Structure 1
């Protein structure tokens, strides 16, 4: 089933045109009960930090990085982050770095997803949306929620100037430490939104594939363009 994408043309003035791109947040996983069962079990294994179980649930050649070797050895190194993989300057941050990877894996697999054919399932659902050519993928974010507040100031007390649902916005200056990010809406408005509700178009995404033996596996977990 193809991803449902709604695109509305908005005319701004007489010459500037923008597109409001919204993605249906409906999770298609329920179409295949075996997929639902697989994902639930894998999420339980991730929550338990069960490295062996997570590796067993992944493809032998799982794709994990652009230019990397992939496979179980690379996946193991990301999940366990052994000492030899960390330089001295980051050694004090090892536990946090390791936990961040597990957290991103769990967060990604909990996102609504969509099928690409009958044997491939992608998460989050936003990943399969086609971005307008005029939008820089690294500045593109989707609002991951219904009626998420757009505020005039970068804090929870800022005046609410609108709300957005599952639509494409841009962030020209990303600050990892900021709770609220300044966003630009396709209709020309700008404001601040809580970072928890913004999903990067080039952020982590994952894909399950069903093998010839009808078994689901985690075969892609990657970030970047």
Structure 2
């Protein structure tokens, strides 16, 4: 969780090199109340503070696309009453990726992060593309760091999932075979550096008593 301390800095200006494919927005948030809440949320996730999360859930929170929603469903889905939950890992990843620098222009007083969902370019199919989150991420000729060669590097750009047998991240290897959108490079990238635009995202809404979490879902 120490990486979340770095996330607090990420709500200031972040300039990223997109190499022509995708330039992440500057994560400067003009709304002070939102910036303050994101800082508090980041600290709460770092401390695994269940009560803070529950206290800031919207009564009608969307938890999945098949349920009824609500706080009780959230608690059950994330096993908050149990001994273990992967909620903290999910929230940490969302916060580490970061959100856009703007409140939604479609829905007043709402905010969705990470930016890989909220600001994803429409010209790239969300089911066929991933985002390389990192600077100089190695692309290898084999899905391993042993006996493989680095054939290129990618920084903060969109890539296409290759239409071959290895076109999925396996639970065993965690590698994905990708191709750059200009077809100049094709190889394997380790899964921790790849973000799906339809992966987990969190929605926030501003109520009279402050910002609340009104969505935590994945998929489409």
Larger radius of gyration: 1
- What's the secondary structure of 1:155's corresponding residue? coil
What does 1:210-225 correspond to in 2, within 5 Å? 210-211=206-207, 213=208, 215-225=210-220
What does 1:49-88 correspond to in 2, within 5 Å? 49-80=48-79
> Does 2:136 correspond to 1:141?
no
> Does 2:199 correspond to 1:203?
yes
> Does 2:98 correspond to 1:108?
no
CA distance in structure 2 between the aligned counterparts of 1:194 and 1:26, rounded to whole angstroms: 26
> 1:40-65: per-residue Cα shift (whole Å, max 9, x none)?
22222233333222011121111110
Alpha-carbon shift at residue 23 of structure 1 (Å): 3.6
> 1:123-179: per-residue Cα shift (whole Å, max 9, x none)?
11111213436x3x3332111122222222222353222222222212332313323
Alpha-carbon shift at residue 25 of structure 1 (Å): 4.9
Partner of 2:26: 26
Compute the TM-score of the two structures, normalised by the length of structure 2. 0.75
Alpha-carbon shift at residue 205 of structure 1 (Å): 0.8
Alpha-carbon shift at residue 38 of structure 1 (Å): 1.0
Find runs of 4+ consecutive structure 1 residues off by over 6 angstroms: none
Report the structure, 1 or 2, having the larger strand content.
1
Gaps of 5+ in 2: 1-16, 162-166
Gaps of 5+ in 1: 1-5, 9-19, 84-94
Partner of 2:6: none
Q: How many residues align?
A: 192
- What's the secondary structure of 1:59's corresponding residue? strand
CA distance in structure 1 between the aligned counterparts of 2:144 and 2:122, rounded to whole angstroms: 29
